[in-house]
Amino acid sequence: MNKSTFGRHFTVTTWGESHGKALGAVVDGCPAGLSLSEEDIQKQLDRRKPGQSRYTTARKEGDQVEILSGVFEGRTTGTPISLMVRNMDQRSRDYGNIAYSYRPGHADFTFDSKYGFRDYRGGGRSSGRETLGRVAAGAIALKLLESMGISFCTYTKSIGPVEIQEFHSEEINNNAFYMPDAAAAKKAGEFLEECMKNLDSAGGIIECRIQGVPAGLGTPVFEKLDAVLAQAVMSIGAVKGVEIGEGFHAAEMKGSQDNDGFISDDGVIAKTSNHAGGIMGGISDGSEILVRAAIKPTPSISQPQDTVTDQGENLSLEIHGRHDPVIVPRAVVVVESMCALAIVDALFGNMYARLDKVQEFYKK
């Protein structure tokens, strides 16, 4: 696949920088006939909007999406869907020493190493704003999957050391952290207050549960469904780890504990447990798919940090301006979007796995 393109059958190509004119995505391979409006996409974009709580930046990001192609009379036409969000605020300002020094935890140094120079006005291409294109494209994937009975439940499992103890899906949208546990959300808030007081930041863990995925998606070797999900999720800026099902915990389990048995009820086969997280040998088994992502703490903190300029001079850097003390809540919809893109791609890729089904498809 190409550098800025994800997927093989249903592909998304994102473009745009944090301080450029606009950001967007081109979705290619969406089947004809899906009902689609700008509202469908806006709804998802709004889930990642900042300024929704005191733990996310108050910067004004209008982020109104425009569909430029691929939709006619309210339905997708089968041709590329071009999505664009204009950047509101591109006025020049004094970027101070940010412009020529390497912020710790950011991609400034590696961009200079690779390309010889960089857009110094912000994260550029590696800014979190790039995920706008992913979320816009993901909204289409989610709508398509919903029409086929596939649904997603994505939420924050932990913020720093604060982990959920209970799971109430209806609670997820009731708190600023998208946690399915009100008590944990309260503790997470207290923990973040402390972080902010110390000019520090936090990370966390996101879980995505996918229901209704038919058995048979994914392929046995390099494009295992879990491998593609791993790439999809790890390609999100701050993600440092990905797990499927038991994940790292499986490494400590015994075979007799980790294996999922099968049971038949009048010929209907089901699993007796789901340690595998819905994927066996790289192929979906029809049970719930469980993906987990570790998000590192926000690298932009106001404490003084040791770094260097692009001329190789040592420097103590203080990054001012408002920054999220935690990006986990805003990343929830990004993880969901990437998983949706991977699932819809696998859905199409599975359609020519069996000759009898191909023959039947073309008989009509």
Q: Please, which of residues 135-194 interact with its own copies by CB under 8 A?
A: 144, 147-148, 158, 160-161
φ/ψ bin of 357: left (φ > 0), alpha (ψ from -120 to 50), beta (otherwise): alpha
- Look at residues 295, 272, 301, 296 and name the one whose alpha carbon lies nearest to residue 285: 272
Residue 80 burial (C-beta neighbours within 10 Å; 0-12, 13-18, 19+)? middle
User: What Cα–Cα distance (Å) separates residue 320 from each residue in 85, 317, 324?
Assistant: 26, 10, 12
- The yes or no reply on residue 77 touching its own copies (CB under 8 A) is yes
- The yes or no reply on residue 15 touching its own copies (CB under 8 A) is yes
Cα(151)–Cα(218) distance, rounded to whole angstroms?
A: 18
- The yes or no reply on residue 251 touching its own copies (CB under 8 A) is yes
- The yes or no reply on residue 245 touching its own copies (CB under 8 A) is yes
Mask for 264-293, x = binds its own copies (CB under 8 A)? x-xxxx--x---xx-xxxxxxxx-------
| Residues 295-314 contacting its own copies, CB under 8 A | 295-301, 303, 305-308, 311-314
Q: In the complex, what is the shortest distance from the CB of residue 331 to its own copies, in angstroms, rounded to a whole number?
A: 11
Identity of the residue, 53 or 247, whose beta carbon is nearer to its own copies in the bound complex: 247
Identity of the residue, 3 or 170, whose beta carbon is nearer to its own copies in the bound complex: 3
- The yes or no reply on residue 52 touching its own copies (CB under 8 A) is no
Identity of the residue, 170 or 243, whose beta carbon is nearer to its own copies in the bound complex: 243
Q: In the complex, what is the shortest distance from the CB of residue 55 to its own copies, in angstroms, rounded to a whole number?
A: 14
| Residues 102-121 contacting its own copies, CB under 8 A | 102, 104-107, 109-111, 113-119
Identity of the residue, 62 or 352, whose beta carbon is nearer to its own copies in the bound complex: 352
- Residue 263 token pair: 């049971």
- Per-residue burial over 38-57, b = 16 or more CB atoms within 10 Å of its CB, e = otherwise: bebbbebbebbbbeeeebbb
Cα(328)–Cα(155) distance, rounded to whole angstroms?
A: 9
User: For its own copies, which residue of 170, 222, 320, 321 counts as binding (CB under 8 A)?
Assistant: 222
- The yes or no reply on residue 16 touching its own copies (CB under 8 A) is yes
User: For its own copies, which residue of 54, 240, 318, 322 counts as binding (CB under 8 A)?
Assistant: 240
- The yes or no reply on residue 248 touching its own copies (CB under 8 A) is yes
The residue assigned the tokens 């967007």 is 24
- The yes or no reply on residue 28 touching its own copies (CB under 8 A) is yes
Residues that bind its own copies (rule: CB under 8 A) add up to a total of 169
- State the amino acid at position 229 in one-letter form: L
Q: In the complex, what is the shortest distance from the CB of residue 356 to its own copies, in angstroms, rounded to a whole number?
A: 6
- State the amino acid at position 336 in one-letter form: E
Calculate the CA dihedral of residues 181, 186, 187, 188 and round it to 10 degrees. Answer: 80
Specify the stretch interacting with its own copies by CB under 8 A; choose among 41-49, 56-64, 166-174, 244-252. Answer: 244-252
- The yes or no reply on residue 122 touching its own copies (CB under 8 A) is no
Q: In the complex, what is the shortest distance from the CB of residue 9 to its own copies, in angstroms, rounded to a whole number?
A: 6
Identity of the residue, 50 or 245, whose beta carbon is nearer to its own copies in the bound complex: 245
Q: In the complex, what is the shortest distance from the CB of residue 280 to its own copies, in angstroms, rounded to a whole number?
A: 5
Cα(14)–Cα(223) distance, rounded to whole angstroms?
A: 22
- The yes or no reply on residue 44 touching its own copies (CB under 8 A) is no
- Torsion sign (Cα): 63, 69, 73, 74: negative
Task: Give the end-to-end CA distance of the chain in Å, rounded to a whole number.
Answer: 33
- Look at residues 213, 202, 104, 200 and name the one whose alpha carbon lies nearest to residue 162: 202
Residue 183: enclosing H or E segment and its boundaries?
A: helix 182-197
